Amino acid sequence: MTREIPKNLLVTGGCGFIGSNFVRYWTEQHPDSKVVVYDKLTYAGRRENLNDLWDNANLSLVVADIGDMDAARKACQDNGIDLIVNFAAETHVDQSILGPLVFTDTNVRGTHVLLEVARELGIRLHHISTDEVYGHIRDDHQSVETDELAPRSPYAASKAAADQLVQAYAITYGIPVTITRGANNVGPYQYPEKAVPLFSTNAILGEPLPVYGDGRQMRDYAHVYDHCTGIEAVLLRGNIGEVYNVGTGREMTNLEMVDIVLDTLSKDHSLVKHVTDRPGHDRRYSMNVDKLRALGWEPRYDPKQAVAEAAKWYEGNRWWWEPIRSGEFREYYDRQYAERLAGIQQ
């Protein structure tokens, strides 16, 4: 059964990577529904991700923190919101190792505030989660939605805590919620701290690609387009109260991902540099996505195509990432990689 298209959506984190791709996808598919992007505009939130859409009369932006209850309540009341889709989060594992507290502020407390607003105003909330909440997965298993959560980084722990609050609110207060747990996404507008855009832009610039440890960690690199169609399937046809995994169900090693990036960009493989590993680095993520498939969803891209398409996007869109890389990102890059690339053991 397909339910009615929500009329007025509050998309938190809509200026980030996945949020902006979702806003573009949703406004194309459902032009009559109104979208309010609610975003704090952290370093990862960028108005220009939606430059082509701001003229659309059905799209507006509220710049505010999801942890600000008054601002969130007002945005919902002023716009007759009937669905909150919560993408807003601190999202990078390496940043969570360098400075973890903001991850709890936004990912845990911020989600909690949105749940309170949803409860008070009787609004459905869809929460965007991650496969990282399952922890790293042994070779013969694929995570299913009922698996225990076993997060291993501050980022993953904050996302797992948020999932549990969402589920607790559904049980305790009966508020209508759904959760999707996405695999590693790749595609346009991903901030270049993440592996695929970092490696693509480094390769284009002729800089070394810092591969953590042996590079044999496994990830399901899924195209962000398929994440958007998966979320749409759950919004329109998912069972209230349920969790759905969203990925391709197929993984590759980071070394395989790097090969695709370099081959797509016709760059030399000597750019690869193995560097000191990330502390607590999860070896493997892998999800079973049959539950989402049962809603009639299928991914359009396999992981190899997804990585190649992403690398091509960075090749064709230097206007987007060059200003980022020459700005405050530089400071983070040096902090994260200078010693690693100099070969100094950490």
User: What string marks each residue from 192 to 231 as x (binds ligand TYD by CB under 6 A) or -?
Assistant: --xx--x-----------xxx----x-x------------
66 binds ligand NAD (CB under 6 A): yes
177 binds ligand NAD (CB under 6 A): no
Per the rule left: phi > 0, alpha: psi between -120 and 50, beta: everything else, 246 is: beta
Catalytic residues: 131-132, 155
115 binds ligand NAD (CB under 6 A): no
Binding-site member from 254, 261, 265, 333 for ligand TYD (CB under 6 A)? 254
65 binds ligand NAD (CB under 6 A): yes
Pick what 27 binds: ligand NAD, ligand TYD, none; C-beta below 5 to 8 Å, kind-dependent. none
> What is the 3-class SS of the chain, one letter each residue?
CCCCCCCEEEEECCCCHHHHHHHHHHHHHCCCCEEEEEECCCCCCCHHHHCCCCCCCCEEEEECCCCCHHHHHHHHHHCCCCEEEECCCCCCHHHHHHCCHHHHHHHHHHHHHHHHHHHHHCCEEEEEEEHHHHCCCCCCCCECCCCCCCCCCHHHHHHHHHHHHHHHHHHHHCCCEEEEEECCEECCCCCCCCHHHHHHHHHHHCCCEEEECCCCCEECCEEHHHHHHHHHHHHHHCCCCCEEEECCCCCEEHHHHHHHHHHHCCCCHHHEEEECCCCCCCCECCECCHHHHCCCCCCCCCHHHHHHHHHHHHHHCHHHHHHHHHCCHHHHHHHHHHHHHCCCCC
Binding-site member from 6, 67, 187, 197 for ligand NAD (CB under 6 A)? 67
Pick what 229 binds: ligand TYD, ligand NAD, none; C-beta below 5 to 8 Å, kind-dependent. none
The region of 16-24, 25-33, 142-150, 204-212 touching ligand NAD under the rule CB under 6 A is 16-24
Pick what 93 binds: ligand TYD, ligand NAD, none; C-beta below 5 to 8 Å, kind-dependent. ligand TYD
225 binds ligand NAD (CB under 6 A): no
Which CB, 92 or 124, lies closer to ligand TYD?
92
40 binds ligand NAD (CB under 6 A): yes
Least distance CB 111 / ligand NAD (angstroms): 9
248 binds ligand TYD (CB under 6 A): no
128 binds ligand NAD (CB under 6 A): yes
41 binds ligand NAD (CB under 6 A): yes
238 binds ligand NAD (CB under 6 A): no
Give the binding site for ligand TYD (CB under 6 A). Answer: 93-94, 184, 194-195, 198, 210-212, 217, 219, 254
